[in-house]
Amino acid sequence: MAPISTPDAPFGRVLTAMVTPFTADGALDLDGAQALATHLVDAGNDGIVVNGTTGESPTTSDAEKDRLVRAVAEAVGNRAHVVAGVGTNDTRHSAELARQAERAGASGLLVVTPYYNKPPQEGLYQHFTTVADATGLPVMLYDIPGRSGVAIDTETLVRLGDHPRIVANKDAKGDLAAASWTVSRSGLAWYSGEDMLNLPLLSIGAVGFVSVVAHLVTPELRAMLEAYTGGDVAKAAEIHQRLLPVYTGVFRAQGVVTTKAALALRGLPAGPVRLPLVGLDPAQTDQLRKDLAAGGVHL
């Protein structure tokens, strides 16, 4: 079965921003990554995002990133989109990572706003178009000012939408007004990058989700999306409300940490996090169990 894509949803509709499994001693666990990616696609994901924030990209080497893309593409690339995170705060480095991901078998690229150096809007525009020009792969922008320190302005997103390979935006800006204007003007396929806003973003034109909680509730997210697009807004809202404790619980602590803890409790590949992240303490683990149980996820 080929990966699902349509002109309005070029990467499919439900994608998991996948954690990177490590072994007990902190090494890359490629067997675990393949098993987890297979589990997620079997659960209903149209795509897997690797080497993103949730994949602990700040603490994996370029060589590890390459090996991870190759492993996941081998496991699920014939059934799902494999979108490789290649964003850094160095344009030349990002372009090289893009070329590396293309060679490794990625079907798309996720390019986050450069962080820490806070470039002006023209710098953002040139950064993203330079990376997009480096390969023949479609690009999903990633607008997350809470982590990057600078937002991609509406006018910049509209300009970027004119690039033939910049086809989508992962929105973690938390600004529904800005998203509404940009969706209406840019032509970019809009993906929710903030789980609590999955349903609200659908209401202003989003086509799908790049989700962290999809590690745990992919069927529920698909059901919510299908209810909404099928016209049953009340059912979609009911599912959204049922998932609120899951959204809250996964992000009560750092999302990678809680997700890996939940996966481990389910017997799925995850392993430890790498410093400077640290695992949950017993009280936090107990709270996570309670939050997820309140949302129907029993570990």
Enumerate the active-site residues.
142, 170
Q: Which two tokens stand for residue 136?
A: 């023949």
Q: How far apart are CA 121 and CA 280, in angstroms?
A: 38
Residue 74 neighbours by CB under 8 Å, 6+ apart: 34, 105
| 194 three-class SS | coil
Q: How far apart are CA 236 and CA 229, in angstroms?
A: 9
Q: How far apart are CA 6 and CA 194, in angstroms?
A: 22
How far lies 121's CA from each of 11, 77, 125, 188, in Å? Answer: 26, 34, 6, 18
